[in-house]
Structure 1
Amino acid sequence: MNEKAENIVWHETAVTKQERRKKNGHQSFILWFTGLSASGKSSVANALSHSLFQQGKQVYVLDGDNVRHGLNHDLGFREEDRKENIRRIGEVSRLFIDSGQIVLTAFISPYREDRALVRNLVEPDEFIEVYVHCSLEECEKRDPKGLYKKARKEEITHFTGISAPYEEPEKPEVVLDTEKHSIEECVEYLLTVLNQKQLI
């Protein structure tokens, strides 16, 4: 064990996760939205966040682009950077859970191993993987940021779905098909799932 690890001791907080949950009136957990760029992750996460907020829930969205403006501004898009990006987000998400909040994360998070790492950071009922399914063809048609066009021209390297892999979830708790269903329909379905699981 190195000196740094030896001299770090976990400090228990005066207010527990359970106490925060009781005050908030709901459970705290991660809804981990994963899928290709332009599949609708951020749109659905933000719409769900608004609905939950209107219901008085403590909720926050961690969005891939937004996080890379600050916490992860030092990371690129190579495999090792993507892994570190997700590791950091997992740790931040765990803090949100401890604070009694619902955290919605919208990240491509292309590797199963990295998503499993985050799942293993928290309790079994605190991680819900939401696969936002949308075909590559449809995502390219949408291309709101023009990223697919740049990737096809090789102006962007290591772009998921084009020059870098995306590993579909094998057993996600929720699958949303954003080619067939509207954002509103996806939100309604997610609210139903969360109610059925007695999380909200």
Structure 2
Amino acid sequence: MRVLVTEDDEALRVAVDAALRGAGFAVDTVVDLPEADEALSVNDYDCAVFDRTLPAGDSLRYVADQRRAGWSVPVLFLTARDAVSDRIDGLAWGDDYLVKPFAVAELVARVGSLCRRSGPDPAPVLRHGDIELDSGRHEARRGGRLLALTAKEFVVLGRLLAADGEPVRRAELIAVAWDELVPPASNVLDVLVAQLRRKLGPPPVLHTVRGVGYLLR
């Protein structure tokens, strides 16, 4: 499933991109409406995510014009506007509305729901060895055994699986799982990885790459 993300805030754009890729989605990111217009003219998307306030203007007006022209791709708006009137306007032309600040894991779940509306394709399933992550069912298994993961553990495991054996940097994993700004030196990721290792069980598959991050092997 392919998702277009239009967001001019670099930190948020990187975090959303990493989280969606970690859940198995193909992602294109742009920073403003002209770039979004170009991407939509040449690619087919299962869902589009728009920040409402962009340098070129309110993305709601852009989406409204697209809808009038017959465009039917599901749209999720991201915004700091939380007034009831703003939500009503957003839902009039979009399909979902998420107010900032939000948990990235919730955004991933909402995008998955919108993608399932757009077509019959199943949600992506990521595999590495005997580990399997089904983002549609929100289930992870090892050797057929269901793993009881938290939302953050699920997202981190998904990003590691998407890397297909390549190392993933600490900063990227932190951006995937935490929507707040967490210093790279914080130990929150180390605690999560220790819990994830315990839940994955033997033989060890989640390894530390010193000075870089973590990988599955």
Q: Which has the larger share of strand? A: 2
- Higher RCO (C-alpha 8 Å, min separation 6): 1
TM-score between both structures, scaled by the size of structure 2: 0.37
Q: Which has the larger share of helix? A: 1
TM-score between both structures, scaled by the size of structure 1: 0.39
